[in-house]
Amino acid sequence: MRNNIVFSAKNISKFFGHGKKLVCAVDDISFDIADGEIVSIVGGSGCGKSVLAKIMLGLYAPDRGTFLYKGKPIVDTRDHWNEVQSVFQDPFGCFNQFFSIRTQLKDAFGILKNKPSKQEIEQRVDEALLAVNVKPSDIEGKYPFELSGGQMQRMLLARIFALKPKVLIADEPTSMVDACVRANILDYLMKLKESLGMTIVFVTHDIGLAYYVSDRIFIMHESKIVETGKPEEVTQHPKSAHTIRLLEDIPDINREWIKK
């Protein structure tokens, strides 16, 4: 069982600033994430969920505690990114505006240790584009500012389909797109899990979305994980006051939403 643990965090904390302005973004958090799991980290703005995602991705190192990937601390970030990749929140801000989309998708292969041949890269990019229902000819020679937000978010996912990492950290991939695209993106995430057996950490502020996709949900509030459990447990029998609040905030068509 222990071999199957992908991420293991023991009492990790992360601070920003210093002196009087010291801010604790992640406060004494411990958890394990198993191979092949989809774990959602749910919380409001500023609760530290994105920082936690960046720690998992190796962009930040925790200031206290131990954080292990497959039983080892993250030493070489390039090695780490060979296996752990990410989709970010803002699809428009994610691509360099000065290079075409296809060039940037091909650039992504730079991280792989066993870099495929040029031909294979082209082929894998084409396959990845088809996996997210985009015809390769549609984006040929196009620059990021020529695509819509939904298309851009799919390009980010295409990058994941092309690289085929073992773990995906999806940091609010659905927060900046409309409802239809949101459903699409969730479908693609499920496809990634099913076809590649990917472990997915899904960061979101929407407990409703988390309920549909995850095996387990972590509820974060004020830099701490306040509740963990299976989606049914968390949504049917919430223990923490904050979880109850998150559940109450799910939009409901049949309920009067804004109290007059």
Binding stretches for another protein (CB under 8 A): 57, 59, 77-78, 81, 85-86, 88-90, 93-99, 104, 107-108, 110-112
**Closest CB 119 distance from another protein, rounded Å:** 20
**Closest CB 241 distance from another protein, rounded Å:** 33
Q: Toward another protein, which CB reaches closer, 30 or 96?
A: 96
Q: Toward another protein, which CB reaches closer, 147 or 219?
A: 147
**Closest CB 152 distance from another protein, rounded Å:** 11
* CA 258 vs CA 16, 107, 132: distances in Å: 36, 47, 37
d(C-alpha 157, C-alpha 64), whole Å: 32
Q: Toward another protein, which CB reaches closer, 98 or 257?
A: 98
Which H or E run includes 176?
none
**Closest CB 57 distance from another protein, rounded Å:** 7
Q: Which of 253, 252, 232, 235 is nearest to 244 (CA)?
A: 235
What are the tokens at 36? 């092949």
What are the tokens at 25? 């973004």
The total number of residues written for the chain in this structure: 260
DSSP reduced 3-state for 39: strand
Q: Which of 161, 162, 132 is nearest to 147 (CA)?
A: 132
Q: Toward another protein, which CB reaches closer, 41 or 84?
A: 84
d(C-alpha 28, C-alpha 12), whole Å: 5
Q: Are 27 and 223 in contact (CB under 8 A)?
A: yes
**Closest CB 221 distance from another protein, rounded Å:** 24
Q: Toward another protein, which CB reaches closer, 81 or 188?
A: 81
**Closest CB 256 distance from another protein, rounded Å:** 37
Q: Toward another protein, which CB reaches closer, 22 or 253?
A: 22
